[in-house]
């Protein structure tokens, strides 16, 4: 693709349909075409794009923290995310994750501002609706397989917006209309982009599986969901057949009852995997050192989960806090239904754990502020 751009064959570049010619690959090809002569044809030529999304991710994390709590909490959360070792490593690779994380955080920020701000002008509301639609557009191009989670997030925001207005006993038609537009965009955008993007491996496998399509079309909504979840789960089991960090590969999900019975386990895996039993054994690709490092990160995540619950209890009257918490739990649980490999789960879960880190950072900031206030009071008493 970079060669096509250098030859100024822009139409051929747009129409290029190789299996790996996805949207994020096209972005990298622009960097290779423009900077390959200076930075070489290696990973370094892709870093300007990665740096842009890395900085966007930190800016959006700070903005989310400032919008929900305070600029101080935003700075603390952005610092934690910026220095998270494995995330920092993944944001330097030729992957779609930096783009997806940035787009998801932009959507989350748009929804949070619409929900939580008591007084917001029509112009600002329109701007956030536009940014939310742009974020969903990028998500569709980057990782369309997450669309069910994105749709659930948008519809959940509408529910909490109504709840917040019921609590305040003041209905704002502008907010309700804005979220209605975003809900419509969830339905309309996939149809607009249908056939205009390069499908990933799961999309192509689904489209060629006529037996699956027939069974899905003839089933009820609940049965249809169970069939799709079970089929995608089987795809992951086959894809990671030789991996050393698989979980529950013996479990088959085929009916709605299977989904309900597996729900507690999915919550456990979604929030807590990789488990401590995996931290000390050597991994096939990362070895013992990599497993120990991930174990240290998981200890930190466990702490943030506890602190997030503290924030949830203290701020239980704020619907936006429940929205962030439930969105993260829901997303991690849905992913755990189909992703059976702990390593892949850990990486895919990044954008949904950032809100948890934000809620935990808010508790850390509150506790540190209380400790400072207590120390100042003691010093004043001694004087």
pLDDT recorded at residue 51:
94
pLDDT recorded at residue 357:
96
- pLDDT > 70: percent of the chain: 89
pLDDT recorded at residue 85:
92
Q: What is the mean pLDDT of residues 259-281?
A: 90
Helix or strand holding residue 126 (H, E): helix 122-143
Q: pLDDT tens for residues 115-148?
A: 887 777 888 889 999 999 999 999 998 888 889 9
The answer, yes or no, to whether residue 108 has pLDDT greater than 90, is: yes
pLDDT recorded at residue 120:
78
Predicted TM-score of the model (pTM) = 0.90
Q: pLDDT tens for residues 248-268?
A: 989 888 888 999 999 999 999
Angle between helices 319-338 and 350-382 (to 10 degrees): 140
- Collapsing DSSP to helix, strand or coil, 2 comes out as helix
pLDDT recorded at residue 256:
87
pLDDT recorded at residue 361:
95
Residue that wins the pLDDT comparison between 338 and 41? 338
Other beta carbons within 10 angstroms of residue 162's beta carbon come to 16
pLDDT recorded at residue 113:
92
Q: pLDDT tens for residues 298-332?
A: 999 999 999 999 999 999 888 899 999 999 999 99
Confidence of residue 383 (pLDDT cuts 50, 70, 90): low
The answer, yes or no, to whether residue 93 has pLDDT greater than 80, is: yes
Task: Give the chain's end-to-end CA distance (angstroms, integer).
Answer: 72
Query: Pick from 271, 369, 377, 360: which is nearest to 312 by CA?
Result: 360
Confidence of residue 195 (pLDDT cuts 50, 70, 90): low
- Rounded to an integer, what is the distance from CA 63 to the centroid of its chain? 16
The answer, yes or no, to whether residue 209 has pLDDT greater than 70, is: no
The answer, yes or no, to whether residue 40 has pLDDT greater than 90, is: no
Cis peptide bond N-terminal to 274, omega within 30? yes
Q: What is the mean pLDDT of residues 38-42?
A: 85
pLDDT recorded at residue 193:
79
């Amino acid at each position: 693709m970079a060669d096509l751009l250098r030859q100024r064959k822009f139409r051929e570049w747009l129409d290029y349909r190789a299996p790996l010619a996805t949207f994020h690959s096209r972005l990298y090809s622009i960097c290779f075409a423009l900077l390959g002569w200076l930075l070489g044809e290696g990973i370094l030529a892709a870093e300007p794009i990665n740096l842009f999304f890395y900085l966007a991710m930190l800016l959006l994390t700070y903005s989310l923290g400032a919008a929900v709590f305070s600029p101080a909490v935003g700075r603390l959360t952005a610092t934690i995310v910026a220095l998270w070792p494995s995330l920092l490593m993944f944001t330097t690779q030729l992957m779609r994750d930096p783009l997806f994380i940035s787009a998801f955080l932009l959507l989350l920020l748009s929804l949070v501002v619409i929900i939580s701000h008591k007084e917001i002008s029509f112009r600002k509301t329109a701007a956030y609706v536009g940014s939310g639609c742009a974020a969903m557009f990028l998500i569709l191009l980057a990782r369309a397989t997450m669309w069910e989670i994105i749709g659930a997030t948008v519809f959940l925001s509408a529910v909490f917006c109504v709840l917040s207005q019921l609590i305040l006993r003041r209905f704002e038609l502008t907010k309700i209309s804005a979220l209605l537009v975003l809900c419509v965009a969830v339905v309309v955008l996939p149809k607009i982009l249908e056939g205009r993007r390069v499908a990933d491996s799961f999309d192509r496998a689904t489209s060629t599986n006529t037996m699956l399509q027939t069974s899905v079309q003839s089933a009820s909504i609940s049965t249809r969901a169970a069939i799709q979840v079970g089929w995608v789960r089987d795809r992951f089991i086959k894809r990671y057949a030789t991996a050393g960090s698989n979980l529950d590969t013996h479990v088959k999900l085929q009916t709605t009852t299977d989904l309900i019975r597996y729900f507690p386990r999915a919550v456990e895996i979604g929030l807590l995997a990789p488990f401590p039993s995996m931290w000390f054994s050597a991994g096939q690709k990362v070895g013992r050192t990599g497993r120990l490092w991930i174990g240290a990160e998981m200890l930190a995540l466990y702490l943030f989960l506890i602190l997030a619950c503290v924030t949830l209890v203290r701020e239980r009257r704020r619907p936006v806090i429940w929205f962030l918490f439930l969105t993260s739990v829901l997303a991690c649980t849905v992913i755990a239904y189909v992703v059976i490999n702990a390593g892949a789960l850990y990486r895919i879960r990044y954008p949904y754990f950032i809100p948890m880190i934000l809620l935990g950072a808010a508790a850390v900031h509150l506790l540190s502020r209380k400790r400072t206030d207590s120390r100042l009071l003691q010093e004043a008493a001694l004087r």
